[in-house]
């Protein structure tokens, strides 16, 4: 499997897990228990593995220059690095909603850029 595909699939799993965790956390207001800490750590570990794969993919051959998305891969990597930092902040600040919202916004933006870079590259 090439590095770009590995990064896309790994980060897709991380995004899906993050979506499930976010919905689970929102349901905690309805009396359902909050997600376990281990689930968040697993989400972060998969996301970090995807970021590492993406860094290797970005260092490979240029892609997407003809479609104007050549910088999307590196921008996605920077955004995912920001998502890792805000994810750690979310963990340290005891899952405050504002930290989760910032984390999700950064990660979603990175994921959209990654998908465009993969599709058009």
What pLDDT does 26 receive? 82
Q: Is the dihedral of CA 57, 62, 64, 65 positive or negative?
A: positive
Residue-number span of the structural domain to which 90 is assigned: 3-120
CB crowding 56-65: b at 16 or more within 10 Å, else e: ebbeeeebbe
What pLDDT does 25 receive? 85
Number of domains within the chain: 1
Tokens describing residue 36: 């376990």
List CB contacts of 102: < 8 A, sequence separation 6 or more. Answer: 86
What pLDDT does 116 receive? 96
Q: What are the pLDDT tens digits along the chain (121 aa)?
A: 899 999 999 999 999 999 999 999 888 777 778 889 999 999 999 999 999 999 999 998 888 898 999 999 999 999 999 999 999 999 898 778 899 999 999 999 999 999 999 999 8
What pLDDT does 30 receive? 73
Tokens describing residue 63: 């892609």
What pLDDT does 95 receive? 72
């Amino acid at each position: 499997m090439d590095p770009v595909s590995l990064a896309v699939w790994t980060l897709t799993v991380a995004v899906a897990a993050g979506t499930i965790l976010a919905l689970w956390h929102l349901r905690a207001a309805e009396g359902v228990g909050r997600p376990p800490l281990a689930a968040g750590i697993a989400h972060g570990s998969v996301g970090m593995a995807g970021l590492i794969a993406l860094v290797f993919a970005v260092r490979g051959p240029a892609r997407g220059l003809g479609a104007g998305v050549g910088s999307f891969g590196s921008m996605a990597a920077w955004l995912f690095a920001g998502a890792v930092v805000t994810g750690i902040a979310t963990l340290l600040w005891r899952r405050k909603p504002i930290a989760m919202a910032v984390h999700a916004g950064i990660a979603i933006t990175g994921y959209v850029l990654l998908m465009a870079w993969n599709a058009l590259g």
